[in-house]
Structure 1
Amino acid sequence: MLDIHQTYTYNFPTTIRFGVGVVNELGDYLKQNQLKRPLIVTDGVVVELEFFKTITQKLEQQGLSPAVYSEMQKNPVKSDVLRGGDFYKENECDAVIGLGGGVAMDVARAIALRINHHRDLFDYDDLIGGDKYVTEEIPHFITIPTTSGTGSEVGRSAIISDDVTKQKKILFSPKLLAKIVFADPMLTLDLPPFVTAATGMDALTHNMEAYLSKGFNPMCDGIAIQGMKLIATSIAQATNEPDMFSRSKMMMGSLMGAVAFQKGLGIVHSLAHPLSSLLDTHHGLANAVCLPFGLKFNYQGLEEKYNIMAYNMNLGSNQGKNLVDHIEVMNEQIGMPNRLSMIGVKEEHIKPLASLAVKDFTLPFNPKMATEEDFISIYTSAL
């Protein structure tokens, strides 16, 4: 049981400081590691928030000189990373801090990769074996999440899109793991309901898809089950009447989902990624809408796993058959739509979306294969 009056340190897969107020330790940590000029990578919304200004002011009061880079799109593209790399060098920075949600984390991690690796950025795409080119050290890398969604703070990859084709590339290497994470639920307390709900459904999707994904990793399965339990029992409270306990559960569940999905993801992300690429849909929102339809596609043959998920989401025994309906009700409770038409998808979008979905890098991990015709059918039913 989490105690919101305590702070914790644990190591999995990197060093994590978890608890209310741990972000205040950042300056001392930087000084202990002889770092003076960190590049803080965040998005255009977070950079204007009061807690962000407080963080940078405290660093300056401790004799540090943070530089701030916040030029990034809602779904980050290659040019965002290249500009950030140039900004790092121009400002003679000595560390990278990813502070924000998944977008800021992805851009920060890709910038860190870029500093000492000079091939074309997409040469490092993991899907074409690009990790073999990640041979040099990266700058000291720190992550500070401000949402409970992607869990990118404990990840080893960055998802960046091509500016022109909008195709997503995955940059991966164990070297891209943060040296330390400051996971402070206090930073999420003032998130708007939409952001809480959308990022929370992203985290829930990570846990559920990791559990269902094919392959063998019992450690990830156990983490995913606990992660989905934490999120399913706190997301409504965190969205509608937030308190520190619900926010803490959400942040821990998000961290757990990111650890679990090293096992793989699946068809829900294959459905969601093209919505972000083609229509600039918020990733968490896309997952929220697609989750019931992806779960419905995978149900047959996985009934026992669905029963286990349902039990851990407080539906009772042998209730896997009702899990899809439960997710739809959960979406309604937190203000998430249940239809693609409600987020601007039109019939003419379906074929282009399906064409991208069938090529998505998460599909091979799904327990069932899907054809382009399957995706057309799923998108049509979700419309």
Structure 2
Amino acid sequence: MNQTYTYNFPTPIRFGSGVINELADYLKSHNLKRPLFVTDGIIAELSFFKKIKKDVEQTGLHVEVFTDMHKNPLKSDVLKGGDAYHDAQCDCIVGIGGGVALDVARAIVLRVNHKRDLFDYDDLIGGDKYVTEDVPHFITVPTTSGTGSEVGRSAIISEDDSKKKRILFSPKLLAKIVFADPMLTMELPAFVTAATGMDALTHNMEAYVAKGFHPMCDGIALEGISLISQSLEIATHKPDIESRSKMLLASLMGAVAFQKGLGVVHSLAHPLSSMFDTHHGLANAINLPYGMDFNYEGFEDRFDKMALALGLGSDNGNKVVSHLFELNEKLGLPTKLSAIGVKEEHIDALSVLAKADFCHPNNPKPVQLEDFKKLYKAAL
């Protein structure tokens, strides 16, 4: 973990402490002169972001910064970002941050040269066929170890009024290169580390049990689970470069693995972000034990392998759910929805949204409206 590496999967990744210092030279080598840095308002005020910006500007490049985005990104955020790109006459986009900033950055990449209504490009209605134009040069710089959006090809953006989530997808939206520097995650607060880490664990676990045949994703997911089991508690409470590096790798791996699909946990979590503006990682963390409990029967062999990856020993898949509850407690995260303001009267509305969500069709078991109600009630 003291070395720097380059590997390609699915896009070129520069990984290791200090690789962010290569960004300016990379931009110059590709004749890119006016990058739009897309990040959130909190990161924009942090010292490491200011240093990145200064280092790039000292090489003679002009940096424009866009930060106007919501905690759960909206269509209007993307449209404003597209205007900022054109107004500043930018020639590339650098997404710096966690899942929100990277989703907004990727959606802006799409927006720059694609002029239909943004949600005409929704992948769930076949909108990817309209992604026909060139897109700006796109670079991603993750600062959390959660979504793995830096290696993704899609962005989840919500409607402004209904908060319904839409998926913008195209292979064209893959970053040209990722600068994955664990040093940028070293100062994350404990809560953000824990919540984003549980998001990464959810990605790996749901991908592994998702229906369908994809042995490469299965192997990646199990290794991601193993890396998280070795490092998440340390990264949360006593962070060091090894734990931060393992978490960043596991996050990248989870995003690669979930091209196989996600499942019931994400469908439980998404409505919480829509209705309560809940942090996505926290929503996943609370629901993960309940969703995995729902999936256990009939898939014991998969749970046995996940138990081994989690360090629980052989043939101990029946211990996975209790381990997840204990992990949340050790990380200082809640295990009940009531802790984030959910009440009995919210369950019907949450369940309708969950049933309409796009993730659970890949769950290993079918999930009906009544199942969502039971799961929310169990988690309340």
Shorter chain as denominator, the TM-score bin is over 0.9
Q: Which residue of 2 aligns with 1:72?
A: 69
Cα shift at 1:347: 1.0
Q: Deviations over 1:262-314 (max 9, x none)?
A: 00000000000000011100000000000000001111100000000001110
Q: Which residue of 1 aligns with 2:248?
A: 251
Cα shift at 1:42: 0.1
Q: Deviations over 1:223-270 (max 9, x none)?
A: 000001101110000000000000000000000000000000000000
Q: Which residue of 2 aligns with 1:187?
A: 184
Alpha-carbon distance between aligned partners in 2 of 1:233 and 1:268, rounded to the nearest angstrom: 23
> Which of 8, 11, 20 matches 2:5?
8
Q: Which residue of 2 aligns with 1:239?
A: 236
Q: Deviations over 1:294-352 (max 9, x none)?
A: 00111110000000000111000111001000011010111111000011111111111
- Give me the CA root mean square deviation: 0.5
Cα shift at 1:363: 1.0
Q: Which residue of 1 aligns with 2:317?
A: 320
Identity of aligned residues (%): 67
Alpha-carbon distance between aligned partners in 2 of 1:224 and 1:55, rounded to the nearest angstrom: 32
**Hey, which bits of structure 1, 4+ residues long, moved more than 4 A?**
none
Alignment map for 1:137-216 (pairs within 5 Å): 137-216=134-213
Q: Which residue of 2 aligns with 1:87?
A: 84
Is 1:275 aligned to 2:272, yes or no? yes
Q: Which residue of 1 aligns with 2:53?
A: 56
Which secondary structure state, in structure 2, belongs to the residue aligned with residue 358 of structure 1?
helix
Q: Which residue of 2 aligns with 1:350?
A: 347
Is 1:359 aligned to 2:356, yes or no? yes
Q: What letter corresponds to residue 132 of structure 2 in structure 1? A: T
> Which of 307, 310, 325 matches 2:307?
310
Q: Which residue of 1 aligns with 2:225?
A: 228
After TM superposition, the structure 1 stretch with the greater mean CA deviation from structure 2, 360-369 or 181-190, is 360-369
Q: Which residue of 1 aligns with 2:43?
A: 46
Cα shift at 1:61: 0.7
Alpha-carbon distance between aligned partners in 2 of 1:271 and 1:5, rounded to the nearest angstrom: 38
Gaps of 5+ in 1: none
Which secondary structure state, in structure 1, belongs to the residue aligned with residue 37 of structure 2?
strand
Gaps of 5+ in 2: none
Which secondary structure state, in structure 2, belongs to the residue aligned with residue 233 of structure 1?
helix
Q: What letter corresponds to residue 313 of structure 2 in structure 1? A: G
Q: Which residue of 1 aligns with 2:97?
A: 100
Q: Which residue of 1 aligns with 2:376?
A: 379
Q: Which residue of 2 aligns with 1:291?
A: 288
Q: Deviations over 1:35-62 (max 9, x none)?
A: 0100000001100100000000111111
Q: Which residue of 2 aligns with 1:340?
A: 337
Which secondary structure state, in structure 1, belongs to the residue aligned with residue 250 of structure 2?
helix
Q: How many equivalent residue pairs?
A: 380
